[in-house]
Amino acid sequence: MIPGWLEIGSLIVMGVVIAADLVVAYRRPHVPRVSEAAIWIGAYVALAVLFAGLLFAFGGSSVSGQFLAGWLTEYSLSIDNLFVFVIIMSRFTVPKKLQQSVLLVGIIIALVLRGIFILLGVTLIEHFSWIFYLFGAFLLYTAVHQLMTARRETATEESRVIRFLRRHIPITPHYKGGALVIQRDGRRMLTPILLVFVAIGTTDLLFALDSIPAIFGITQDPFLVFAANVFALMGLRQLYFLLGDLLSRLAYLSYGIVAILSFIGVKLVLHALHTNRVFFLNGGKSFDWAPEIGTFTSLAVIVGAIALAVGASLVKLRVEASRARRTRPDDA
């Protein structure tokens, strides 16, 4: 049980930290240096670990473990989200100076959408226990779909909304700072930044559909669900500038995320079977053979999947670099 004062205090601190980050980014629009981005990310990770320590001290190991597993799951999905952001920025040739503002808008949209989906998810779970079957099936479908069609392929295709905007709204071919609307030849026109915001918002919506069922597979506590999402989104802007092109070269990251989604999908289905109340399944009785996967098992699987995916990607990069060095003299 998490004390009420800890929940309220944590929400206040999270709000202040996010607001401070937004104010700093707005007042000092620039491309962060690698060292600056690394310091910010380290600070956000330290805050998450500190928060987990407070949960351990006042709520117990189970609560702390649920937050850590949820935070790592959401963080891995956020990195996948960030990868698509990179593609969107490249597709719309967003100037470097504007990318920070675009990311801020994307993070705000993500926070709002995830908050809405969390409230919706909590309501569904309270009234419909069978919703875990749907959550589990959806995550398994998402994992298979991502395995078969990479997000990078779908992200390069323009959505119907963007195609509609291009056809029916006058849009300038060039950016004008961060302005959405400009006057040209006595005519009001929109800038391409609008299309970028629409693309970012659509992406956030799709990822919210993935991430919220995934976190409910770890914990059903709405406070922990929200906290895990907030901490996962903290530092996302700095992570974008820190990793940069490296994101596109983490070849096996998507497989790690597929493994996590698949595992949580199976866990949700097993939980639904274990707590079954659907009248046409086993007469509405629990499937006693269905095991419940514990929090720390989930944490181990999630950490292992991320570590293997990133480690294998880095090994691949090192091998490719080594081959390139060996072939260079021959080319000369």
Which tokens belong to 75?
């963080």
Q: Say how far apart CA 56 and CA 50 lie, in whole Å.
A: 10
Residue type, 97: K
**Region 2-24 average pLDDT:** 85
Residue 248: the pLDDT is 66
pTM, entire model: 0.82
Where does the chain have alpha helices with state H? 4-27, 34-59, 61-91, 96-127, 131-148, 151-155, 160-168, 193-216, 222-233, 236-243, 246-249, 253-274, 295-331
According to the model, what pLDDT value does residue 184 have?
74
- Segments forming the whole domain that contains residue 151: 4-331
Q: Residue 155's pLDDT is what?
A: 52
The whole-number average pLDDT for the span 24-28 is 70
Phi-psi category of 284—alpha, beta or left, where left has phi over 0 and alpha has psi -120 to 50?
left
What is the band of 56 on the pLDDT scale with cuts at 50, 70, 90?
A: very high
Percent of the chain with pLDDT strictly greater than 90: 17
Cα dist from 215 to 77, 138, 165, 225, 297, whole Å: 10, 13, 34, 6, 15
- For residue range 87-138, list pLDDT tens digits in order: 788 778 888 778 877 888 888 888 888 889 899 988 988 888 788 899 989 9
- Asked if the model's pLDDT at residue 168 lies above 60, the reply is yes
Mean pLDDT over the full length of the chain: 82
Place of tokens 């995934």: 214
Comparing CA positions, the residue from 270, 318, 313, 308 lying closest to residue 290 is 270
Query: Which tops the pLDDT comparison, 69 or 240?
Result: 69
pLDDT digits (tens, 9 = 90+) for 221-277: 999 999 999 998 887 888 887 776 666 677 788 888 889 999 999 999 998 888 888
Residue 210 has pLDDT above 90, yes or no: no
Q: Which residue from 91, 78, 84, 133 is spatially nearest to 280, judged by alpha carbons? A: 133
Domain count, the chain: 1
